[in-house]
Structure 1
Amino acid sequence: MYQDVLIPTDGSDGTRQSIMHGLTIANRFEATIHALSIVPEGPLGTLQNEAATPAAHRAVERVAAEAARDGIEATTGVEQGVPHEAILEYAADHDIDLIVMGTQGRTGLDRVLVGSVTERVVRMADVPVVTVRLTDEIRIDDAEDAERIARDALTADAESGESDALTVVEEPQRISAVWIVALETDTRPVQVHVDALSGKARIETRDE
């Protein structure tokens, strides 16, 4: 039924549920996930800053990582334009069968933008649109707490043995309700993903 599922994401907490929902649908129908992030132009352009484009790339890469872990094919895209127009144009250009979107962002401003964009896509899309609302409470909302959980996870990892030598590479970032904690040992970098809803940690990469 669905071969190509589009998940627009801005990296905010409100998109976490839509990402999980979209991945579940894609897994069920063996569909390809399209992760798309829009850097707004026009009337919304004044709300952006120079960090907007890197943040958009991090948002879609997060979806791709989730898809890869579940064995789901994924493609990513970052576009510029009026968000709902860019989403609809992408859907038409890539023969999208289903769009899965969140309805609530991380901040008051996110709620206005994400809600407004979703509403327009629902009204104007030629394909089905599934809207998913964030209903869980964010438990881990502080970067220091995320770092502590990441360190604890590495300490508990039987193969690690490196927890005392861990150094934070950069400030932990929260993307789609997941903290990305980049650490470095004396010999290699380590990345830990901490779920901001459950507090669970996963050692995502261990590059030699």
Structure 2
Amino acid sequence: MFKSVMVPVDGSEHAHKALEVACQLIKDSDTTLHILHIPEALAHETTLIWGIGAVTLETTSSELEKYGRELIDRTSREASALGAKHIDTTLAQGEPSRTILEQAKRLGVDAIIMGSRGLGDFSSLVVGGVSHKVSHSANCTVITVH
């Protein structure tokens, strides 16, 4: 059905469910799974890290890269255990919705499968979250998992 799909991950339960759905959709196929993580600094010097949540860090770029790489490595191992055969990973910087859209275009993905909510703050619910922005602007299929 799809030749390639992208799953943006941020450590939230919704992103984890999106990964599971993506792996179910592509299991036993030659579809490439692109896993994308965009470390996002929050207010009060917290950083989002999968499996840990939002923690206070001295957020240097090397630390963000280290924790982001750990997240992507864990996610990649899990995707493989869930049946994904071809896995590509990307650690990117930037505003999440824009970066997801740019990476999807660059990679030529057929679908973006993402969580309906991430670990972001309450303002994203009021202003319009990342998944909402991506679903309205993507040039490919977007599947939002709750």
Fold shared by both chains (TM-score > 0.5): yes
More relative contact order in 1 or in 2 (CA 8 Å, sep 6+)? 2
Q: Distance in 1 between matches of 2:95 and 2:116?
A: 17
* Residue of structure 1 equivalent to 2:111: 98
Change (3 A) 1:29 1:116: same
Gaps in structure 2 of 5+ consecutive residues? 48-58
Counterparts of residues 36-115 of structure 1 (less than 5 Å) = 36-40=36-40, 48=47, 49-50=59-60, 51-69=63-81, 70-106=83-119, 109=121, 112=124
RMSD: 2.7
The answer on whether the counterparts of 1:104 and 1:111 sit within 8 Å (CA) in structure 2 is: no
| 2:134 aligned with 1:121 | yes
Change (3 A) 1:122 1:54: same
Bigger radius of gyration among the two: 1
* Residue of structure 2 equivalent to 1:191: none
* Residue of structure 2 equivalent to 1:23: 23
Gaps in structure 1 of 5+ consecutive residues? 134-208
Identity score, percent: 27
Query: Could you state the TM-score of these two structures normalised by the residue count of structure 2?
Result: 0.75
Shift of 1:47: 5.5
Shift of 1:73: 1.1
Shift of 1:13: 2.2
Change (3 A) 1:71 1:92: closer
